[in-house]
């Protein structure tokens, strides 16, 4: 987000992609992790792009296209999907808790990004924008667990 606020996202994206590759390489099931990340990125890019075009917020760095959410957001969606079998594994089998957590933490994350200068809420649309981001993330967390069928034990063993 700091890089986006200063129009310098290249190294942050490269470093994040390197971590994502490392994460996939060290996973028990690289194919399933890659599949989940791909689905999460499609979901996130679609949701963010829709909210941009509906006029709720704008991002500072629009590369690769003014018609899509920025690339740095894509890698954040993939990175978040990588936490499903890690730090978020305790939410597996708890879709209501995942939805509530997503609905609260998603908008908070976007608000932090906006305050850091990575984007801006369209004047007069911040409240509705945050509600819609909350809905996107409230659906995202349980949906990502649905897409990822790894047993809980695999995620917990990997964390030790």
Confidence band (pLDDT; 50, 70, 90) for 5? low
DSSP string, 49-104: HHHHHTTSEEES--TT-TTS--HHHHHHHHHHHTTTTTTTGGGTT-HHHHHHHHHH
pLDDT of res. 97: 98
pLDDT of res. 66: 87
**In terms of residues, how long is the chain?**
160
pLDDT of res. 160: 46
Over the chain, what is the mean pLDDT?
A: 90
**Average pLDDT value for residue range 103-130:** 96
Instruction: Count the alpha carbons within 13 Å of 71 in the hemisphere toward its beta carbon.
Output: 14
pTM of the model: 0.88
Confidence band (pLDDT; 50, 70, 90) for 87? very high
**Average pLDDT value for residue range 21-38:** 94
* pLDDT over 70, % of the chain: 89
| Exposure class string for 72-89: b at 16+ Cβ within 10 A, else e | bbbbbbbbbbbebbeebb
Position 1 pLDDT exceeds 90: no
**Average pLDDT value for residue range 26-37:** 93
Sign of the alpha-carbon torsion through 155, 141, 104, 112: positive
pLDDT of res. 15: 93
**Average pLDDT value for residue range 91-115:** 97
């Amino acid at each position: 987000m700091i890089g986006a606020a200063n129009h310098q996202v290249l190294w942050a994206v490269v470093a994040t992609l390197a971590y994502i590759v490392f994460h996939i390489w060290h996973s028990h099931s690289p194919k399933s992790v890659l599949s989940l990340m791909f689905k999460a990125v499609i979901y996130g890019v679609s949701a963010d792009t829709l909210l941009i075009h509906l006029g709720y917020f704008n991002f500072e760095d629009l590369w690769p296209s003014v018609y899509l959410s920025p690339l740095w957001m894509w890698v954040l969606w993939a990175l978040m999907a990588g936490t499903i079998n890690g730090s978020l594994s305790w939410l597996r089998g708890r879709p209501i808790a995942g939805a509530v957590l997503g609905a609260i933490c998603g908008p908070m994350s976007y608000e932090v990004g906006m305050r850091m200068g990575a984007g801006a809420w369209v004047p007069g649309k911040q409240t509705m924008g945050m509600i819609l981001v909350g809905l996107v993330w409230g659906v995202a967390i349980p949906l990502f667990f649905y897409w990822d069928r790894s047993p809980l034990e695999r995620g917990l063993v990997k964390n030790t």
